[in-house]
Amino acid sequence: MNKRAIAQVPATLGPIFACLLSLASPALAQKPNIVLMLPDNLGYGDVGFLGTGGELRGMPTPRIDQLARESLRFTQFLTEPGCTPSRAALQTGRYPIRSGLSLVLVKGAANTLKANEITMAEMLKPLGYTTAYVGKWHLGFAQESQPQYQGYDEWRIGFLGSTDVTSYPREMSKYHAPDAIIQNAIHHIVEADAPNTPAREVRVYDIAYRRQIEKDIADYSVDYIKRHANGRDPFFLMVAWTRPHYPNVTHPDFKGKSRIGQYGDSVMELDYRTGQVLDAIRESGIEDNTIVLFLSDNGPQRTTIFREDLIAGSSGQFRGELFDPYEGGIRTVGMIKWPGKIKPRTTNAMISLLDIFPTLAGFVGGKVPHDRPFDGIDQSDFFLGKTDKAPRESLITFIRDRIAAVRWRQWRLYPRTVLASTDVLNTTGVQGIVAENSGYPAAYNIEWDPREEWNLLIENSWVLGPYMKVIQSYRKTLKDHPNPPAPNFTDF
């Protein structure tokens, strides 16, 4: 049953037929389009609708906030603590350690997304979806890893690494790096027009193009939506934004727009570009049949004094940032909109980036892999309001070859106490806090103590029970499906 079939029904019967269709199984109805926007390093405390960012921080985010009002808003959207692991979790629905992607990849790293991994796009293809990926990928440098070999029909304005690279020549020059080294550090924007065809280099991804890229991603996305709005097949468009990842030079239109400098300008450009995509969906008349997801990939990058442009990402009331296993490293911005199907509301249920794949599968009748461990949970009934109880109770956070943290309900557990990368809090052992590098486990109650300042494990050692259960259940899956070697490019 497709659009053409519907068009053959006499006009007067159209509404009745449409009504019958909506009662039929989802597999028979016209499948919804899916637009998934993935900002890069946007923090919980960067946007207005979650209470701690936007206007309060001198960088209003009206378009994101408006989308939030029309969406199911997640106040516990949990990701992985870095770009590569999060993107692996999103694409595969599996803990990134299972695909060897539990650390951010840099050029030269051996680990890469393997051909036999099944992505979201590969789940959607057999259902008749047209698919496209725009922007940053960052799931490995091998050809087999690239979007057009992983279920996406095309890849536009793409790049394989991180936006960091655009600052490399400038940074390297400061230290008088030889030309050969600088040349080797240059990365390119690449594109592929069709599945299973090698990508071609389009231009250098340098600081000049850094200013332009978000506009190009938005323009391409708008064009794609308009071209496919009246197509026979539903489409799945992944818009992998590059903002507000360092460096944050913006399009000239946004220079000085915010009250807090470059970082704020960049967030405001992201907000505007998001609005362009939303406008295209509305103007194409497909808003009612399009699922829109807006999901950040991980916690924000906070200020460092080593940058010329002071980075000002915020994790709001939470402790930690990008790369930290603390809550602020993984709790970030997330929402889903589906007019008439998903009631706009706020939920404080635990939603993981891992759950997006199986939830979309649940919506459209897709299949999740059963021949391997799969960690995502189908939240579709919960999102649609068919059940009040969200299914997720726990989440493991891996970094490199280790379990860095475990969430179980409102408890955060650290198998060994850790020292956050840039957060000096609590290292003094004052006020009854066990020194964080003591080697003992630690447990924080994230509701009672959102900044994880009070290790309550000694008084609450009972939490080790449910925690061990979560770990054991994960460990059991390793027997038949051991993890590949974890990334180790920093171990020499």
- Binding stretches for a second copy (CB under 8 A): 45, 50-52, 55-58, 75-76, 259-261, 263-264, 303-305, 310, 312, 314, 316-317, 346, 348, 410, 422, 424-426, 428, 430-432, 445, 447-450, 453-454
Nearer to a second copy, 74 or 95 (CB): 74
Question: Quick one: 195 or 466, whose CB is closer to a second copy?
Answer: 466
Query: To the nearest whole angstrom, how small is the minimum distance from the Cβ of residue 301 to a second copy?
Result: 14
Cα–Cα distances in angstroms (integers) from residue 247 to residues 81, 307, 446, 460, 472, in the given order: 19, 9, 31, 43, 41
Do 91 and 119 touch, CB atoms closer than 8 A?
yes
What single-letter amino acid sits at 238? M
Give, for 155, the enclosing helix (H) or strand (E). strand 155-159
Return the DSSP state at 342: B
The phi, psi pair for 36, rounded to 5°, reads -110, 115
Give least dist CB 80 to a second copy, A: 21
Output 32 or 60, the one with its CB closest to a second copy.
60
What is the rounded CA–CA span in Å between residue 186 and residue 171? 12
Paired residues of 38 in beta bridges: none
Nearer to a second copy, 96 or 328 (CB): 328
End-to-end Cα separation, the chain, in angstroms: 57
Contacts of residue 11, defined as CB under 8 A and 6 or more positions apart, other chains included, come to none
By DSSP bridging, strand 334-337 and strand 33-37 are unpaired
**Which runs of E-coded beta strand occur in 21-136?**
33-37, 72-74, 77-78, 130-136
φ/ψ (deg, to 5) at 157: 45, 50
Strand order in the sheet with 411-414: 394-399, 402-408, 411-414, 442-445
CB of 257 to a second copy, least distance (A): 14
Cα gap 57→197, rounded to integer Å: 44
Min dist CB 241 to a second copy, Å, is: 22
- Nearest approach in angstroms of CB 204 to a second copy is 32
* 8 A C-beta contact, residue 135 and residue 242: yes
Q: Which is nearer to a second copy, 19 or 430 (CB)?
A: 430
Return the number of the residue (18 or 56) whose C-beta is nearest a second copy. 56
Strands 351-352 and 394-399: unpaired
Closest to a second copy by CB, 160 vs 249, is 249
Q: Which is nearer to a second copy, 200 or 255 (CB)?
A: 255
- What's the rounded Cα separation, in Å, for the pair 457 and 214? 45
Look-up of token digits 């956050």: 420
Placement of tokens 């021949």 in the chain: 371
Least distance CB 309 / a second copy (angstroms): 12
Nearer to a second copy (CB atom), residue 271 or residue 378? 271
* CA distances for 145 relative to 90, 114, 136, 161, 482, angstroms: 14, 6, 13, 12, 20
Minimum CB separation from a second copy for residue 442, in Å? 16
Q: Kindly state the smallest distance separating residue 66's Cβ from a second copy, in Å.
A: 14
Q: Which is nearer to a second copy, 94 or 302 (CB)?
A: 302
CB of 54 to a second copy, least distance (A): 9
| HSE-CB of 480 using CA atoms within 13 angstroms | 7
Residue nearer to a second copy on the CB measure, 51 or 198: 51
- All residues at 6 or more sequence positions from 430 whose CB lies less than 8 Å from its CB, including other chains: none
CB of 422 to a second copy, least distance (A): 8
Q: Residue 224 is inside which H or E element, if any?
A: helix 213-228
Closest CB to a second copy among residues 162, 262: 262
In the complex, the smallest distance separating the C-beta of residue 350 from a second copy, rounded to whole angstroms, is: 12
Q: How far is CA 479 from the centre of its chain?
A: 29
Shortest distance (Å) from residue 52 CB to a second copy: 4
